[in-house]
Every structure is written in structure tokens, then in C-alpha cells.
Amino acid sequence: MKNPFDEFYHVPNSQELLDIAFKRSMKSSAQVSKNAPILIKAKKKESKRIKVAIEEIINRILKIIKTVPILDELPEFYRELADILVDVDELKLTLGKLNGILPVLHKIEREHLSKLNRIEAPKEGDQIRRSAFGRVSSVIYKQNRNLEYLNKIRGSLREIPSIDYTMPCIVVAGYPNVGKSSIVKNISTNKKLEIKEYPFTTKKLNMGHLEIEKRFHKIKIQCLDTPGILDRPMTKRNSIELQAILALRLISDLILFVFDPTPASGYRVESQIELYNEIRHNFSKERQIEIIIIFNKMDLAKDSEINFLKENLDINDSQFYLTNALTGENLDKLIIDLKERYRGNE
Ligand SMILES: Nc1nc2c(ncn2[C@@H]2O[C@H](COP(=O)(O)OP(=O)(O)OP(=O)(O)O)[C@@H](O)[C@H]2O)c(=O)[nH]1
Ligand SMILES: [Mg+2]
């Protein structure tokens, strides 16, 4: 499913909104016969300007409200992710406030059009239009914080990856700085992933794809890079970690758990093991989702460090991949394994 926030377009601030509306309004021309009296011409011209400006603003506000999906109707993954990324109550309140000014704008329009009807000199028409624009501006300026808030959260909601529920999804998880993004970059089509020597480089979910050739057709597998997770209680986890937890909980078909056996990541191996056990118990066992274990940074890892992990996880050499995500060493074996799993019995 395409990211439901994909069509949440740029939200203009108050000034932009007013500029657009007033510009359109002043360009508008009323249909009035050349020979009509000047007073009639003035009335028609100004009433058209008022109508165009207010209509433009109302339409734009309605469009903003409509492009934000109704959160309660979204699939669980998107709904919960939106909940992590933004304050959903504040979002609803903001949309409500914007909706609330629509009747006010209609009222300003009605009042000024009726005043225009009663003018006795053409120059009064200009004054009434100015007064209408003044009232509209003051209503819209008061919405500036709401408009800017919407535009701000739009940034993070639009970055949510599109998930195809009909395709398998491998979720790559582990402690920060262990090489998750380096692995996804190496094995998938997503070559844009940011890789840095410090933890929490990845702050959001990023999708990549792997293509698998079946006998008669190709299938695509999704491969999701996630932010690092620390071994700590769920209530202490921040919104960056929670995105990874959510992906594990709701969209993983297979988990690649990445360990850094060396001190390079800056985190203790014992803590990584604790996290692995939590994920195994909470997100894999019940749903019978398999975990593939990766010991990354093999170029740095000492035998003693690898053995320590093996012993503590109680696994043998055939139960993990020893990889170097920078050179790709042994990742080819991992890809073959993944392809075997998804190729199934052709
Ligand atoms: N020597 C060595 N360095 C590696 C290897 N894999 C990754 N690195 C380095 O480890 C650092 C972290 O790599 P990332 O791929 O950003 O790690 P990550 O797990 O995605 O990190 P976060 O997004 O911060 O959680 C970078 O400096 C990488 O160059 C490896 O196999 N060997
Ligand atoms: Mg990363």
C-alpha cells in the first residue's frame, strides 16, 4: 500500500494563503455590460473580488483537510506509525480548528456582500472590499501556527515507506551502529541509505527491495532497514526505537538480527544479546517468524569475540552468517539463503 500520507502536499502558511487568494481575486473580472451605471459596475466588481478571495481560501483549506487521511481508517501499521511520529490528538485538534473557520469566512462574505448591495457611491465599494479582506486576513493570520504545524508534521509523515502487504518483508534489526544499513544497502536496491560511524544514524524506516527469479517470473521481496534499538524497557524507548519495534511487530515475515561482536559499535555484546532475546520472545516465537543471525564486522572481530557470542547464544557455525558489510564478504551466501527461502518449491 502506498504511503497514505503521500498526497499530503505542502501546506501554505497564512501569508502565502492570503497572497494567493487576494492575487486571484484582484485578477478576477465581473461580467457586467459596458453601459451599466458606474455604481452597478463597482458593486459587481467588488462582490466578485470578495467571492473569489474567500472561495479560494475555503477551497484551499478544504483541500488541506482532505489530504490528511482519516487516521482511524488506516491499516494498523500506518496508524501506529503516525501515532509514534506525531501527536495524533494535536493533529485532529488542528484540523478541527481549521474546519472551524470556514463558517466564519462564509459569514464575512455574506455580511460584506449585503453591505455592497446598499452602497450609494462607487468608492464605497472599494472600502467594503478592503474591510472584507481585512477581516479575512485577521482570521487567517490567527491560523498561522496551525498551518505551520501541519506543514511540519507533513515532513515526517511523508517519509513513511510504502509497504506492499502482498510481498514478503524482511526486517533488519539490532543495536545501533552494528551495520544494519550497510547490509541493507549491500543486498538491496536501496543505495541511498545513510551510513555513519555514530549510533542512531538511521532515524526512520527505509525500504529496499530484492529481486528473486522464479522459473517463469520474478518476485520482489521487501527489505526494511530500521533504526537501532537499545536494551531497555519499552516505556523508556524513544520514537526512533519504537519505529523499529513496530516494524518487527507488524510487518516482518523474517528478521535479520545483526550483531557487532566487536567493541566498534560502542555497545556491549551482552546488551545486544538481551535485545536479541527480547525480540525472539516477543516478536518471533508467537508468530513463528524466523530470525537469521548475522555477526557483522568480521574484519574486526577476534575469534574470542565470535566464540563468546556463539556460546551465549548457544549456536553452532551453521546457525549464523559472519559478514563484512563493507566488502560484501559472505553477504552473497546470505542472499542465496534468502532466495532459497522465498523461491519455495517451483
Ligand atoms: N569494519 C567494518 N565496519 C563496518 C562494517 N559494517 C558497517 N561498518 C561501519 O559501522 C558503522 C555503522 O554502520 P551503519 O551501517 O550505519 O550501522 P547501523 O546499524 O545502520 O547504524 P544506526 O543506523 O546508527 O543504527 C559505519 O561506520 C560503517 O562503515 C563491517 O562489516 N566492518
Ligand atoms: Mg542505520
For residue 171, the cross-strand partners are: 224, 255
The SS3 assignment for 169 reads strand
- The pLDDT score that the predictor gives to residue 234 is 96
Which pTM does this prediction carry? 0.90
The one-letter amino acid code at 75 reads: P
- The pLDDT score that the predictor gives to residue 125 is 95
- Work out which ligand 1 atom sits closest to the CA atom of 185: 15
CATH classification code of 14-157: 1.20.120.1190
- The pLDDT score that the predictor gives to residue 272 is 98
CATH classification code of 169-343: 3.40.50.300
How do beta strands 254-259 and 321-322 pair?
A: unpaired
**Distance between Cα 194 and ligand 2 center (Å):** 7
**Top mutation candidate among 171, 178, 180, 182 for ligand 1, by most atoms within 8 Å of CB:** 182
Q: Which helix (H) or strand (E) holds 281?
A: none
Q: Which three cell numbers stand for residue 250?
A: 507488524
- The pLDDT score that the predictor gives to residue 286 is 67
Are the CB atoms for 250 and 77 separated by under 8 Å?
A: yes
Cα gap 79→84, rounded to integer Å: 9
Number of Cβ atoms within 10 Å of the Cβ of 322:
16
Half-sphere exposure of 310 (CA within 13 A, CB side): 14
Cα gap 223→56, rounded to integer Å: 44
Are the CB atoms for 322 and 285 separated by under 8 Å?
A: no
Cα gap 24→337, rounded to integer Å: 61
- The pLDDT score that the predictor gives to residue 287 is 65
Are the CB atoms for 225 and 252 separated by under 8 Å?
A: no
- Work out which ligand 1 atom sits closest to the CA atom of 201: 24
Any idea which residue has 510487518 for its cell? 251
Q: Which three cell numbers stand for residue 224?
A: 526494511
- The pLDDT score that the predictor gives to residue 49 is 96
∠ CA 158-58-60, rounded to 5°: 30
Q: Which residues surround ligand 2, an ion (CB under 5 A)?
A: 180-181, 201-202
- The pLDDT score that the predictor gives to residue 168 is 93
Number of Cβ atoms within 10 Å of the Cβ of 333:
12
- Which region, left, alpha or beta, applies to residue 200 given φ > 0 means left and ψ of -120 to 50 means alpha? left
| CATH 1.20.120.1190 placement within the chain | 14-157
Number of Cβ atoms within 10 Å of the Cβ of 279:
24
Number of Cβ atoms within 10 Å of the Cβ of 346:
6
Any idea which residue has 483537510 for its cell? 65
- The pLDDT score that the predictor gives to residue 285 is 66
The SS3 assignment for 229 reads coil
Distances (CA, A) of 230 to 116, 226, 234, 269, 339: 66, 13, 10, 12, 30
Are the CB atoms for 209 and 224 separated by under 8 Å?
A: no
Q: Which residues line ligand 1 (CB under 6 A)?
A: 176-182, 195-197, 199-202, 227-228, 296-297, 299-300, 324-326
Q: What is the pLDDT along the chain (346 residues), one digit of tens a residue?
A: 889 998 888 999 999 999 999 999 999 887 878 888 999 999 999 999 999 999 999 999 999 999 999 888 999 999 999 999 999 999 999 999 999 999 999 999 999 999 999 999 999 999 999 999 999 999 999 999 999 999 999 999 999 999 999 999 999 999 999 999 999 999 999 999 999 999 999 999 999 999 888 777 888 999 999 999 999 999 999 999 999 999 999 999 999 999 999 999 999 999 999 999 999 999 886 668 999 999 999 999 999 999 999 999 999 999 999 999 999 999 999 999 998 898 875 5
- Work out which ligand 1 atom sits closest to the CA atom of 194: 16
The one-letter amino acid code at 299 reads: D
Are the CB atoms for 325 and 182 separated by under 8 Å?
A: yes
Cα gap 122→41, rounded to integer Å: 8
- Work out which ligand 1 atom sits closest to the CA atom of 184: 15
Which residue has a Cα nearest atom 23 of ligand 1?
Answer: 202
Number of Cβ atoms within 10 Å of the Cβ of 118:
9
State the greatest distance between any 2 C-alpha atoms of the chain, in Å, as a whole number.
98
Pinpoint the alpha helices (H) of the chain. Answer: 14-27, 38-67, 76-85, 88-117, 122-141, 144-157, 180-187, 239-250, 269-279, 303-313, 331-343
